[in-house]
């Protein structure tokens, strides 16, 4: 049985690697990688474009989690996504603000902001205060985000990272300010709050898929396509196995 498991594992590995190579090559020939549509990402892109056109501010908040904590994966992924978002709005009149509840996340966010403006040849617009640590615990962090959210100049809020029930406080403030907001968390409690309260929410692995949707081609984008294909393969295998088991039970054949 062990050898069979090994053979299956190697087979799946080479199939996934082959698909990744194919999608990577074909993705370079297209500006759009053919990813499945995510309504939250579509609406976010529209909101970011609208913020730039209207001279409004975009607020990105990365959650409250220590980077040494195993739950920090979503916030680390959110850093990559925030970089793509910042590049998308670098030409705006109002400087974006990135908040978090961890010192290391704040330093990394400030570095991303600096790098974004450097690439855009607009370092004069960079201010280190654009990256802010607003609280050291989940609830003080949530309270600290209320100030940038309530600013009238703020029109778009992106909540992406590790959030728990404190997300409800942040989303309520965004709702009262009549601004657009999209939210995603790797925490089940946070996901349930966001699904119920957010205008647009990212569920499950969608939290880790934001960055590839903002850039054409690339390994990350190809990897998302491989995941989608493998997901459908697993679904088909489960459905076929359940059907076969049902037929065998009807025929009275024990398995």
pLDDT at residue 94, as a whole number: 84
- Distance separating alpha carbons of residues 246 and 104, to the nearest angstrom: 53
Each residue's pLDDT tens digit, 134-143 = 988 999 999 9
**How far is Cα 83 from Cα 116, in angstroms, rounded to an integer?**
7
pLDDT at residue 255 in the model: 58
Q: How far is CA 48 from CA 98, 136, 154, in A?
A: 15, 28, 11
Distance CA 160, CA 202 (A): 9
pTM summary value: 0.77
User: For 35, which DSSP code?
Assistant: P
The CA R_g of the chain, rounded to the nearest whole Å, is 21
Which residues are within 8 A (CB) of 19 and not within 5 positions of it... i.e. 6 or more apart?
225, 226, 229
Give the strand order in the sheet containing 180-185. Answer: 131-133, 97-100, 57-63, 154-162, 180-185, 200-202
Gap between the Cα atoms of 20 and 222, Å rounded: 6
Give the residue, 126 or 28, on which the prediction is more confident: 126
Token match 């190697």: residue? 10
Q: How many CB atoms lie within 10 A of CB 251?
A: 7
The per-residue pLDDT for range 6-31, each reduced to its tens digit, is: 877 777 777 777 777 777 777 655 54
Tell me which H or E stretch contains 201.
Answer: strand 200-202
């Amino acid at each position: 049985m062990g050898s069979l498991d090994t053979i299956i594992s190697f087979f799946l590995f080479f199939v996934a690697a082959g698909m990744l190579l194919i999608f990577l090559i074909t993705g370079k020939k297209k500006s759009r990688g053919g990813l499945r549509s995510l309504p939250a990402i579509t609406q976010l892109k529209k909101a970011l474009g609208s913020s730039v056109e209207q001279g409004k501010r975009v607020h990105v908040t990365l959650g409250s989690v220590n980077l040494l904590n195993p739950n920090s994966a979503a916030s680390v992924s959110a850093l990559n996504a925030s970089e793509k978002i910042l590049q998308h709005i670098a030409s705006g009149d109002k400087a974006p603000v990135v908040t978090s509840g961890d010192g290391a996340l704040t330093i990394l966010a400030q570095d991303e902001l600096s790098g974004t403006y450097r690439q855009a040849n607009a370092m004069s617009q960079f201010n280190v205060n654009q990256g802010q640590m607003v609280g050291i615990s989940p609830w003080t962090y949530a309270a600290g985000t209320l100030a940038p959210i309530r600013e009238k100049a703020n029109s778009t809020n992106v909540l992406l990272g590790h959030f728990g029930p404190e997300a409800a406080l942040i989303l309520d403030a965004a709702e009262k300010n009549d601004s657009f907001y999209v939210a995603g968390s790797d925490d089940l409690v946070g996901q349930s709050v966001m699904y119920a309260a957010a205008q647009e929410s990212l569920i499950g692995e969608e939290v880790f898929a934001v960055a590839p949707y903002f850039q054409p081609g690339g390994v990350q984008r190809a990897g998302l396509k491989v995941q989608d294909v493998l997901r459908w393969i697993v679904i088909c295998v489960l459905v076929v196995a359940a059907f076969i088991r049902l037929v065998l039970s009807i025929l009275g054949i024990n398995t």
